[in-house]
Amino acid sequence: MVSDYQQGPVLKSVRFRIIYPSVASVGLLPSYGLITFLVVIQWLIYQQSPMVYSNVHSLMSSLPPQPQELSNSARSQTLCRLLWRQGRLWVLPPATSTRHIALPALAKPEWFQACLERSKTKGVVIDPQLGSEVITFWASACHKVGKPLYLRLPTMRMLPAKQSVWAWYTKCLLERLMGLALLVLFSPLMLVFTVALKLQDNGPAWTYYWCIGQRGRVFRMAQFRRESTITGQKTRLGQWLEVSRLDRLPRFVNVVRGEMALIGTKPWMVEEAIKVPPEFQFCLNALPGIVGPRPLGLDIPAVDIKVICQREVTYLKNWTLWSDSQTGLLAVVQMLKG
């Protein structure tokens, strides 16, 4: 059935193809949420429109009042421009336009996750200009439904994976095997730290940070928790783990999964990645490592971010398998010296 649906100044004579069997799966949604949910799914999947604008503010003001008001942060997460391209959903900053399609499914995580789960998209690409809060919102939703999320980045031809293909694959294979061996070797010590942190304040032993991985893929980097869940301050055990750099032991899990390497560039967190100057954003395509050409314990606020980026570019341009081996040996010596 083809029907016309109008919603005041927000939706203007847009034709949608409604499929009735999908109504039963979302019967618990409010009436206006049900209509909009179907509209969003059909628009993104079947119509494959080149551009969809999201502005939930206009629609929410024209609908009946919600039981709970959306926070300002939740409202800001719904402002984006969606583009369907080559089986992927591109999330871009909102453009200046008088014509907007309202997507209230972005206003609630459960609606948003339902849209992603039922979508045929192979992945999501998000623009770093949207900010860390919006990127984290999309990363959490994509992680729960099993969809990969990538940061929109310029291409980089100097990546070792493109310049030295066989040497790079040899490095990846050796480091994943070494990461598995190190994970088994340190598993008793990791178990002791996990139990100690759990008994300390009954909080989670591991914390996760959203980081940018190879080709801009967003992943969760594991680390031992250093702060107290009660006071938010670093505990004695957390300080010792940080000084000894043993808080990085859970990252061996990321190495085994192929999300990180033992030796590589800096693992940029989302909050740090959005601050990288545009001329250096191509460096975010590289595979991050637990240690690398940077000094251990390097703190972003204490060093100019351009200096770090220039060091990363130099490392990528001059990368060899032998240079990585030297870097690993120097890191081990530095850790032993404390």
Dist. CA 181–CA 183, nearest whole Å: 5
- Give per-residue burial for 103-132: e unless 16+ CB within 10 Å, then b: bbbbbbeebbbbbbebbebeebbbbbebbb
Give residue 48's pLDDT.
42
- The residue assigned the tokens 């300002």 is 72
Beta strand 218-224 with 206-212 is antiparallel
Regarding pTM above 0.75, the answer is no
Please give the structure tokens belonging to residue 132: 């860390």
Give residue 193's pLDDT.
94
Give residue 177's pLDDT.
95
* Strands ordered across the beta sheet of 52-54: 52-54, 80-85, 88-92, 123-126, 149-151
How many C-beta atoms lie closer than 10 Å to residue 295's C-beta? 13
34 touches 79 (CB < 8 A): no
Give residue 212's pLDDT.
95
Name the residue among 171, 304, 296, 192 with its Cα closest to residue 244: 296
Name the residue among 177, 121, 129 with its Cα closest to residue 149: 121
Please give the structure tokens belonging to residue 305: 């971010």
Dist. CA 121–CA 147, nearest whole Å: 8
Dist. CA 52–CA 112, nearest whole Å: 15
- The residue assigned the tokens 């990645």 is 273
Separation of first and last alpha carbons in the chain: 70
Q: How far is CA 79 from CA 8, 15, 94, 98, 323, in A?
A: 19, 23, 6, 14, 45
Dist. CA 164–CA 93, nearest whole Å: 36
Question: What is the mean pLDDT for each group of 10 consecutive residues in the chain (338 residues)?
Answer: 34 34 40 51 46 37 41 56 85 68 65 83 91 91 93 86 87 93 94 92 91 94 91 89 90 94 92 91 92 58 77 89 86 71
Beta strand 80-85 with 218-224 is unpaired
SS3 label, residue 53: strand
Using the Cα atoms of residue 171, residue 174, residue 176 and residue 178 in order, give the sign of their dihedral. negative
- The residue assigned the tokens 């789960």 is 117
In degrees and rounded to multiples of 5, residue 207 shows phi and psi of -120, 155
Torsion on CA atoms 167, 171, 177, 178, rounded to nearest 10:
140
Residues 6+ apart with CB under 8 A from 197: 203, 204, 205, 224, 225, 237, 238
Give residue 190's pLDDT.
94
Give the H or E element holding residue 321.
helix 321-337
SS3 of 257-286: the string is CCCCEEECECCCEHHHHCCCCHHHHHHHHC
